[in-house]
Structure 1
Amino acid sequence: MAAPVNPKLDLARNFVLYTNRNIFLTGKAGTGKTTFLHAIKTQTAKRLVVVAPTGVAAINAGGVTIHSFFQLPFGPLIPGAQREARKFGRDKINLLRTLDLLVIDEVSMVRADVLDGIDEVLRRFRHRPEPFGGVQLLMIGDMQQLPPVIRDEEWALLSPHYSSGYFFGSKALQNTPYVSIELTHIYRQSDNRFIEILNGVREKNITAPQLEELNRRHLPNFKPAEEDAYITLSTHNASAQQINSRRLQELATPLVRFEASIDGDFPAHAYPADAELELKVGAQVMFIKNDMSREKRFYNGKLGRITEIAEDVIFVKSADSADEIAVLPVDWSNHKYSLDPATKEINAEVVGTFRQYPLRLAWAITIHKSQGLTFERAIIDAGAAFAHGQVYVALSRCKTLEGIVLTSPIPLNSIKSESVLDDFHQEVQTKTPSEQELENSRRLFQENLLTELFSFRPTSYPYQRAQKLVQEHTSSVDAQLVTELARIGTVLREKVLDVTGRFQNSLAQYFAAGIAPEENAALQERLTKAGGYFKELLWTDLLQSLHRLPTECDNKQVREALLESLRELEKELFVKLTCFENCQDGFRALAYLKARNQAELTFKSNIGKVPEAEQTSASDEIAHPALYKLIVKWRDALAAESDVSGYMVLPRKTMQELVRQLPQTLEELQAVKGFGKTKTRQFGDDLLQLIRDWCTANGVTKEESPASAKRQKAEKPEKPAKGSTFQVSFDAFKAGKSVADIAAERALTVSTIESHLGRYIKTGDLSVYDLIPRQKADHIRAYLDEHKPASLSEAKSGLGEDVSFSEIRWMFDTLRLEEGT
């Protein structure tokens, strides 16, 4: 049999699933709010977390407490006050950054400052200025039920900052629009006369005839028959405990104690049952958990009487059944949210279990603990109700008016009213959305995601920081880093920012049509093409270039700051790349969200980890790279002896000048820029000896140095034409010399000569088969065609040690040349 249609439940479900609007879901007791919460957890593709203000509420909702998840202190959270920074682990931070939906159950009991505390944590760790860091809120609760607990001394601290202590007084919530959906269909009660009385109590407008009819249920000296199984609802815990203790002592049967079994992390304040349960045959008990078996023999709130206590089984008989229920211990779980390392999904990880019989003495319980339960018969002691909502919660637990017995008449003044709640209730009515607002919100949600996709401003910030660092410390970094970073900046500006700026103007035109992007065929076609364009651009022109950057730096602090900025830029580009790849098959909002979050979680930086052979390097412009490496090694050893940074002994620029000029005397050494008299006196002799020894061993004379030849010219020396060093290697190779011979002849590394020749593969002047045996080349080609690796490192890992990085790069370039890209 199909479930009855409930338009408001459907409206709420669609707002949660297909928009990013914040939602307050409210409704009378018994309207299905808790059922809705559990359904949403199974239906949404969004990454969600469920929290509640108390331990018991969190356990019932299958979530965690607000204070434990957000690590909030229990005292008042004064706006602007300095608080001790709570440390979050990396997994928790990743979870917060990729959270889509936060469900807050029993929000009526959440203080305004606690909601602002949640806002502060989310904005801080998500690095987003919007309220709650842009996370969608689903707040569930009934303001006519139990209020937040605020002691007088706490309100004295909070009242200068808040007009109300209720959640809707939150400053963050007041700065973000939300919709309110009130469920009105009551599933618990079916008697319209009783429902009208409950509504009168709830809305604080009960009529005199209605109150009179309710108070007819005051039955003085009422003594229920044992088999009728009445439960007393009391305003105070002490009163309920006193009734249960007295009634248990009156039974002549033996007392039996059952100790709970507690494993792992399960705090005492969240125990869902008595840790030490004392029972007797004949005791009236209440089930405090739903039967999860197929038979569904009991439910949370069902009353019965113990007929037998065996070794490990308790038999309970209820008034509405002829059969006894055999009750065994059950488990409650305490959850902790974590990230699954394989799927990167949010898991509600079980960190502790509480095992006990799902029973509680039930001659009496407090009204507070009865929230969410349903009873056939109840004795209500609400004449001394002290908190707003207590009378309504107590009365609404019962299915029928005839099932209620009042210990004393309910005076009108115990049905407490608060003007602030009346005003809020009126406001809630004005926030009820229409189907049209749902469609508009769904469309805006999709439009916001696309606007975010084509916004590259966040990528420009880490780039600017990196560029500034390099410009301020050019003497400490590789010269090629300056050149390559500037080129990356040009690509970002001309091929990314300018293009996306124009595309955003096009988006505005598409959005003006008022069609949701998912249904806009023309827009979908543009997005598919954009996905292909940006996928190639982001990977080939930007990410691969970033990976090959030479990030070595004389100054350790500068390098750390540089790596931090470059890795932040790399992550921004990687996430964008993943999102554009997702759009190649068409844009779908929830698929986009999942792809974006997966990228955030799976990202691993390759900056500073690429092998030297794959890096863009200035070594091509260094006359004698092998000597340069010897000087770097000597410099670093000297720096270590003095416990200083390498650049304080010799900066990178000075070392490059040394290998260019090849000084042979102290006078020539002192003339090298960046050296000077002090360094010459300190270690000039040692350095000159190192240079002379290397020159002798390699048959290099100062006259053979390109720098010496230039100094012999009368005019100001000019830089060699770009590519001339590549041409020398190319000509030597075409003359029949091997790569190893060319490297030895030119005093360069084999990898440098390979990079020279690779340039000519890109231009088509060399064939890959000129450099690699055909059988080996075909093997590399076949692997790349089949596996389509995303990087040189990935290809190298698959092809093994017999294939070099240079050979893989040559084949990559060959395939691009053949494809015309």
Structure 2
Amino acid sequence: MPTTVNEKLELATNFVLHTNRNIFLTGKAGTGKTTFLHQIKQSNVKRLVVVAPTGVAAINAGGVTIHSLFQLPFGPLIPGSTQRENRKFNREKINLLRTLDLLVIDEISMVRADVLDGIDEVLRRYRYNSAPFGGVQLLLIGDMQQLPPVIRDEDWALLRPHYNTGYFFGSKALQNTPYVSIELTHIYRQADERFINILNSIREKNVTQTQLNELNQHYIPDFQPNDNEGFITLSTHNSSAQQINSQKLASLKTKLHTFTASVEGDFPTHAYPTEASLELKAGSQVMFIKNDISRDKLYYNGKIGQITAIDDDIIFVKSQGDDQEIAVYPAEWTNIRYSIDPETKEIKAEPIGKFIQFPLKLAWAITIHKSQGLTFEKAIIDAAGAFAHGQVYVALSRCKSLDGLVLRTPIPSYSIKTEQMLEDFHEQVQQQTPTEQHLQESKRSNQEQLLRELFSFERANSLVYRCRRIVNQYLDSFPEELNTGLIALAETIQTKARDVGNRFQQQLSGYFSDTNLPEANETLQDRIRKATSYFQALLADDLLPIIYQSPTDCDNKQARESLLELLDDLEKELFCKLRSFENCRDGFVALAYLQARNRAELDFTPERRKLEPQQEESSTEKPGRGGLYGALVKWRNDLAGEHNTSGYMVLPQKTIAELARVRPTTADELLAIKGFGKTKVKQIGAEVLALINSFVERSESTPKLRKQPSEPKAKEVKPPKVPSIDITLSLFREGKTIAEIAAERELAPSTIESHLAKCIATGDVLVSELLSPERIDAIRSYYEANENVSLSDALQAIGNGVTYSEIRFIRNAMQVEKE
């Protein structure tokens, strides 16, 4: 393979794997675009899915159809129409889209502009990202000189007011994001230079009359080859191909055999690679429609042969040039669905259906459309009736050489259709070819963007603001402790996270001016490690605990559900930040950061929701648990139901809690309760006082019954709860590392480190069990010379990769020594 070929493929690979730039990979027929796609799929570096516009194309590419993954309707997608908004995605698919790094679209020439915009809309919505395509990198593969998208006249009438062209590059989203174009030029399919030059001229619409005359010399009127010669006819229309195959099959005198495909699970009929009911006879000309995956590699997709014999479960095919017959058995095609592996958290192609049939189809004739991607040794081209751009080029480029080419009719110049818009696009593509310098700049831009994202707390700041807005709107319905906690959380995020992060981002600009990439800038990496330790401790010790301890009791169900949803989003945002910073403890690597961030999205479960039931158990007189509080809530809800209103409109939760605590007995005492005015006392005061008095009377008489010795009540003995620190200490004594303890307990390593720091303070752990003598001496000598210095100042002064936790270990050990 020439060096230039390797360079182009290597350039394309580097752009896909090491940048976030969108890429249009194009090239003439037979230049290896599909091979490149399979290589990218096997790299397993970025989280990717492969989609294609048709079922057959998706099966061949090992992916799924665009419409099935993004749940798009098949008609035209009019910008702003409601049909683009009524799709509901399950949680698994949302997680897949939210953690997607790379979207590969094969056969992009056949994708309409409005379909690409439909993909953009779905990704923006479910990734909460307003950037084009939700920030997902695109790899678009195809050749615009081949088959175009199918757009009916009535559909184009609806789309024309919104789009200048139906081709994919007319997409509004794509026009708003830059992309690079890489064109593969080395042709593997043909070796005949004369033929290659003719094909290039047809492709580029500058074919000369001399070239056309040379091509038309292969026109042979009434050409009727023998079946054993292996010619296949490529026609423009499906009806013509079917007619040829039917007539040829009927003319054979041998016995007709019908093979019925076995279809399992979900495999749509439009994606069948061959007929479900396959009718064949000995003597039939057939084409293999699958590569032989065995070690022998006896056949490939597009190979032509003749059936020599048929048994019940085996078909024998002989191809021209082969010494022996090929024994053909049923093959299996798999329809997949992308899902997330629950153990590895990686995107996996999950089989959901199978199609089992002999990998053959009648092949005296085939449509040009269905021949795309195939290679033939001998072909009869019937392209005079070409009705779509690219059909002549696709048909001719299926052939390996001029020697194996026969024209059913001469090819007139007018059948080589030209579209000025495509010509303009092709010229634009050639101007967007990137260089090695562009690659380096794109790598730098990608790494800088990811670092700014890492140190940005804008979304967390926005989420806590939205939480506070809901609580302030229904202040009387939520506990006072919740409002106090959110105020503290908002202030901490603002001052210690967002403001510090913004200042650090300003410092990053200075480091970005270095000639080295951020990943290779050791001075920057040292600053990142120190900043990572600060934010890691802040998230684990200060921010997340506030969320865990926030009570969310509320008598307004709608308000509480809205708040819980926001708190989940906020906790998830902070959890993902924590995991991302943990990944950067030893330095920043772009791909490793991407993988850690995405894995955190999938690993997250709301810890606060797990703790809520415990908080409710520890509270007294909660709704539904008896007592005066429960009685008042039941009465309030019954009254609200009678008047068809909300419970908090009758009495807010805070007022009920105050009533249960104070237990007023007169109207004047009721007026002293917040939430009771003269009108409310007049309306319901008497009923409330009666309810309270009745409860007080019952509670005063109840103790006498409880003291009867004849009815002893067995007290449930609950096992004592083991403190979390003690569990960590026990695992540490078993010889487990901090990372192993964190994994076993499903806690952040920083949380385990804080436990061990407290164990050092109590004397249960020696600092020498955690740190090397060199580390201990470095930190201790600094503190002996600098008393009362802050953690952040110490961290910066000591350097050498020292973490906040290590400094805490030494400070606690020194305090123990003093005591």
TM-score, length-normalised on structure 2?
Answer: 0.84
Equivalent in 730, 735, 756 of residue 782 of structure 1? 730
Deviation at 1:477, TM superposition (A): 2.0
How far apart in 2 are the matches of 1:305 and 1:244?
Answer: 13
Matched residue, 1:380: 381
Matched residue, 1:717: none
Matched residue, 2:714: none
- Give the counterpart letter for 2:632 in structure 1: R
For the Cα contact (< 8 Å) 2:519–2:589, is it kept in 1?
Answer: yes
Aligned pairs (5 A) from 1:117-266: 117-266=118-267
Deviation at 1:317, TM superposition (A): 0.8
Matched residue, 2:269: 268
How far apart in 2 are the matches of 1:563 and 1:588?
Answer: 34
Alignment of 1:31 with 2:36, yes or no, is no
Deviations 1:309-361 (A, max 9, x none): 11211001111111110000001111111222222221111111111111111
For the Cα contact (< 8 Å) 1:780–1:811, is it kept in 2?
Answer: no
- Give the counterpart letter for 1:338 in structure 2: S
Deviation at 1:787, TM superposition (A): 7.6
Deviation at 1:694, TM superposition (A): 5.3
Matched residue, 1:759: none
Matched residue, 2:101: 100
Seen in structure 2, the aligned counterparts of structure 1 residues 660 and 541 have a Cα distance that, compared at 3 Å, is: same
Alignment of 1:687 with 2:688, yes or no, is no
- Give the counterpart letter for 2:70 in structure 1: F
Seen in structure 2, the aligned counterparts of structure 1 residues 812 and 129 have a Cα distance that, compared at 3 Å, is: farther
How far apart in 2 are the matches of 1:432 and 1:34?
Answer: 20
Deviations 1:587-610 (A, max 9, x none): 111111111111112211123431
Seen in structure 2, the aligned counterparts of structure 1 residues 787 and 648 have a Cα distance that, compared at 3 Å, is: farther
Deviation at 1:211, TM superposition (A): 1.2
How far apart in 1 are the matches of 2:617 and 2:630?
Answer: 21
Deviation at 1:59, TM superposition (A): 0.9
How far apart in 1 are the matches of 2:592 and 2:86?
Answer: 35
Seen in structure 2, the aligned counterparts of structure 1 residues 484 and 779 have a Cα distance that, compared at 3 Å, is: closer
Deviations 1:637-660 (A, max 9, x none): 323443556645544443554466
- Give the counterpart letter for 2:519 in structure 1: E
Deviations 1:56-82 (A, max 9, x none): 111111111111211111111122233
Seen in structure 2, the aligned counterparts of structure 1 residues 167 and 483 have a Cα distance that, compared at 3 Å, is: same
Deviations 1:437-494 (A, max 9, x none): 0111011111111111111111112211211222333322222222222111121111
**Alignment identity in percent?**
58
Aligned pairs (5 A) from 1:763-774: none
How far apart in 1 are the matches of 2:609 and 2:280?
Answer: 67
Alignment of 1:68 with 2:93, yes or no, is no
Q: After the TM superposition, which of the residue ranges 673-682 and 656-665 deviates more from structure 2?
A: 656-665
What's the secondary structure of 1:123's corresponding residue? helix
Matched residue, 1:465: 466
Deviation at 1:782, TM superposition (A): 2.3
Seen in structure 2, the aligned counterparts of structure 1 residues 632 and 195 have a Cα distance that, compared at 3 Å, is: same
- Give the counterpart letter for 1:88 in structure 2: F
Deviation at 1:5, TM superposition (A): 5.2
Deviation at 1:634, TM superposition (A): 2.2
For structure 2, the 5+ residue unaligned runs are 705-716, 748-754, 765-804, 813-819
Deviations 1:354-404 (A, max 9, x none): 111111111111111111111111111112222111111111111111110
How far apart in 2 are the matches of 1:546 and 1:447?
Answer: 31
Seen in structure 2, the aligned counterparts of structure 1 residues 632 and 295 have a Cα distance that, compared at 3 Å, is: same
For the Cα contact (< 8 Å) 1:548–1:616, is it kept in 2?
Answer: no
How far apart in 2 are the matches of 1:292 and 1:773?
Answer: 58
How many residues in Structure 1 have an aligned counterpart in Structure 2? Answer: 737
How far apart in 1 are the matches of 2:275 and 2:335?
Answer: 16
Alignment of 1:633 with 2:665, yes or no, is no
Deviation at 1:585, TM superposition (A): 2.2
Deviations 1:384-425 (A, max 9, x none): 222111111111111111110112211111111111111111
Matched residue, 1:14: 14
What's the secondary structure of 1:68's corresponding residue? helix
Seen in structure 2, the aligned counterparts of structure 1 residues 601 and 780 have a Cα distance that, compared at 3 Å, is: closer
Matched residue, 2:606: 605
Alignment of 1:581 with 2:582, yes or no, is yes
For the Cα contact (< 8 Å) 2:633–2:656, is it kept in 1?
Answer: no
What's the secondary structure of 1:609's corresponding residue? helix
Deviation at 1:663, TM superposition (A): 4.1
- Give the counterpart letter for 1:680 in structure 2: G
Aligned pairs (5 A) from 1:307-706: 307-610=308-611, 630-642=627-639, 647-648=648-649, 650-655=651-656, 657-658=658-659, 661=662, 663=664, 665=666, 667-675=668-676, 676-691=681-696
What's the secondary structure of 1:248's corresponding residue? helix
For the Cα contact (< 8 Å) 1:385–1:391, is it kept in 2?
Answer: yes
What's the secondary structure of 2:525's corresponding residue? helix
What's the secondary structure of 1:263's corresponding residue? strand
CA RMSD of aligned residues (A): 3.3
- Give the counterpart letter for 2:692 in structure 1: L
For the Cα contact (< 8 Å) 2:632–2:656, is it kept in 1?
Answer: no
How far apart in 2 are the matches of 1:456 and 1:683?
Answer: 48
Seen in structure 2, the aligned counterparts of structure 1 residues 15 and 290 have a Cα distance that, compared at 3 Å, is: same
How far apart in 2 are the matches of 1:334 and 1:446?
Answer: 36
Alignment of 1:43 with 2:43, yes or no, is yes
Seen in structure 2, the aligned counterparts of structure 1 residues 230 and 659 have a Cα distance that, compared at 3 Å, is: closer
What's the secondary structure of 1:165's corresponding residue? coil
For the Cα contact (< 8 Å) 1:286–1:359, is it kept in 2?
Answer: yes
Seen in structure 2, the aligned counterparts of structure 1 residues 228 and 40 have a Cα distance that, compared at 3 Å, is: same
- Give the counterpart letter for 2:55 in structure 1: G
Matched residue, 2:56: 56
How far apart in 1 are the matches of 2:144 and 2:637?
Answer: 68
How far apart in 1 are the matches of 2:758 and 2:615?
Answer: 12
How far apart in 2 are the matches of 1:477 and 1:134?
Answer: 37
Seen in structure 2, the aligned counterparts of structure 1 residues 327 and 792 have a Cα distance that, compared at 3 Å, is: closer
Seen in structure 2, the aligned counterparts of structure 1 residues 656 and 170 have a Cα distance that, compared at 3 Å, is: closer
TM-score, length-normalised on structure 1?
Answer: 0.84
What's the secondary structure of 1:315's corresponding residue? strand
How far apart in 2 are the matches of 1:493 and 1:812?
Answer: 32
